Amino acid sequence: MKNAYALLIAGDEERFAADINGIKEFLVDEALFDQTRINLFYGSHHNIKTEIESFFNKIKGQKVVIVYSGHGNKGKIYPTKIPLQYEELGKLISSVGQFIFINDTCYSGSCIPIFTPSLLPEKGLVITSCQEDEKTNLPESMNSLFLENIISSYRKKQPFKPILQPKWPVHVLDFSTSTSYEMVETPIEKLQHPQRCGLSLDHLLFPQ
């Protein structure tokens, strides 16, 4: 998509940077984005909100793909310790043309009602890693399976279909069988429910 811009935002951990770097490689090598139109912001940027605002001011009316991987809460993301509210992000997005927002964070689905009806469903596409009341349940040592599943769909030139994400074993403290509070590995079903809302724009990210 040579005429589109991309805004890739990573939270302040190495795994988030790895996720975003993987997205950049896909956009450049397979979706054939112009590398000069891709803007990366990492959580280590102290003025990240100002830089994001500057980015949107430069691309008014243009198509843009936005991908976030990092921490979040209901109604906001945390690329740094200072949150960026979805209301703020929505106002910035309103100045561009068609958009795709792929949001990989806890409570990511909470952006959808905030973007509706000013941006959704008529102006763009939002894909989130979970519902507005869910956390993402990926162990901290792993990269995002949600983003990997999106890329896998696009490589097949198929729209991403929200499906239940896999189950992962997590470590919990078992207080019922021991007075020493030993750490035991107990498999717990951890499911998250990706969401999508808006236009069918997935094809804009299909490999060329």
Dump pLDDT digits (tens) for 83-92: 999 999 999 9
CA–CA gap between residue 156 and residue 137 (Å, rounded): 26
Which residue is listed with tokens 């243009």? 62
Amino acid at 64: V
Which residue ranges in the chain fall short of pLDDT 50? 167-188
Count the neighbouring beta carbons within 10 Å of the beta carbon of residue 26.
19
Using alpha carbons, select from 132, 150, 141, 129 the residue that is nearest to residue 192.
Answer: 129
Count the neighbouring beta carbons within 10 Å of the beta carbon of residue 17.
19
CA–CA gap between residue 111 and residue 13 (Å, rounded): 22
Using alpha carbons, select from 23, 56, 64 the residue that is nearest to residue 42.
Answer: 23
* Domains recognised in the chain with CATH numbers: 5-165+193-205 (3.40.50.1460)
pLDDT at 114: 96
Q: What is the pLDDT of residues 56-98, one digit of tens each?
A: 999 999 999 999 999 999 999 999 988 999 999 999 999 999 9
